[in-house]
């Protein structure tokens, strides 16, 4: 069995997910990279190794339940444990009711919400056996209080994450495994490439601190929730958003 705590991080090939994987490695945790893109996944593994950690990449489409089940099983066979799950994979949609299609709605929900549910389903038995099991999901300020640059499907999916994680926190409070959420504000990562120039300008102007966050700032919040020091925090949401949502 692997001696280090093992974390699966979805959508970890780039952006916030990669920053989370690197930060976890620096904190003594072995991050396993789940991503749909083998090229960025391989780059993420190299960055983890450059930071002094070790890692492994699995090509995973979180909208494909069979793919999730098989990959999680392989991780458990390889390391003998899964201690931490970080649900980071997600896509942006800026469509509103007047222009959204059923296909776009379904795609956002499949990745942003269904993926989280089934990642938890297949990792939870192993995580519950860990002495410090952790499930951390990435939501958004759009799920907390609505978002200017994010559409209806994205906001709905990110709001749903809050309900899912709070319910799980209550259900499994006795187990010692914690369920928490990090809700970033606008962050300088590839997902914001979905914004038009007008949307980007509006969002920047709406942030009280006057700038986008960095992936590393979001990763720091995840490292806290993953730590053994955070054992008394469950069902919590940590807003890391430059003041765009306070509540």
Spatial CA neighbour of 218 closest among 14, 23, 13, 10: 23
Spatial CA neighbour of 166 closest among 154, 153, 181: 181
pLDDT band at 204 (very low <50, low <70, confident <90, very high): confident
Choosing from 79, 154, 172, 195, which is the catalytic residue? 154
pLDDT band at 155 (very low <50, low <70, confident <90, very high): very high
Average pLDDT over residues 163-186: 98
Give the number of other Cβ atoms within 10 Å of residue 130's Cβ: 17
| Separation CA 79–CA 246 (nearest Å) | 40
pLDDT for res 27: 98
What are the start-end ranges of the E strands in 88-203? 134-138, 178-184
pLDDT band at 32 (very low <50, low <70, confident <90, very high): very high
* Structure letter (DSSP) for residue 7: E
pLDDT for res 196: 82
pLDDT for res 191: 62
Per cent of the chain over pLDDT 70 is 97
pLDDT for res 18: 99
pLDDT for res 112: 99
* Global confidence as pTM: 0.95
195 catalytically annotated:
no
pLDDT for res 5: 98
237 has a pLDDT exceeding 90: yes
56 has a pLDDT exceeding 70: yes
194 has a pLDDT exceeding 70: no
| Separation CA 127–CA 108 (nearest Å) | 26
148 has a pLDDT exceeding 70: no
- Return mean pLDDT, the chain: 96
Domains, the chain: 6-240 (3.40.50.720)
pLDDT band at 206 (very low <50, low <70, confident <90, very high): confident
């Amino acid at each position: 069995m692997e001696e280090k705590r093992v974390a699966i991080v979805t959508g970890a090939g780039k952006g916030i997910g990669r920053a989370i994987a690197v930060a976890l490695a620096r904190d003594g945790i072995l991050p396993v990279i789940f991503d749909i893109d083998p090229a960025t996944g391989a780059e993420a593994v190299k960055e983890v190794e450059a930071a002094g950690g070790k890692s492994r990449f699995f090509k995973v489409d979180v909208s494909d339940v069979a793919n999730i089940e098989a990959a999680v099983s392989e991780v458990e066979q390889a390391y003998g444990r899964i201690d931490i799950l970080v649900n980071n994979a997600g896509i942006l949609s800026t469509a509103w009711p007047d222009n959204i299609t059923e296909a776009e709605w379904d795609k956002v929900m499949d990745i942003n919400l269904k993926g989280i549910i089934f990642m938890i389903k297949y990792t939870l038995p192993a995580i519950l056996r860990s002495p410090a099991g952790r499930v951390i999901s990435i939501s958004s300020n759009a799920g907390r209080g609505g978002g200017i640059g994010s559409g209806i499907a994205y906001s709905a999916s990110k709001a749903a994450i809050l309900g899912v994680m709070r319910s799980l926190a209550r259900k499994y409070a006795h187990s010692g495994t914690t369920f928490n959420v990090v809700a970033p504000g606008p962050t300088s990562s590839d997902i914001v490439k979905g914004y038009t120039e007008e949307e980007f300008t509006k969002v920047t102007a709406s942030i009280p601190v006057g700038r986008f966050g960095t992936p590393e700032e979001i990763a720091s919040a995840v490292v806290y929730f993953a730590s053994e020091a955070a054992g008394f925090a469950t069902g919590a949401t940590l807003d890391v958003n430059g003041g765009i949502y306070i509540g």
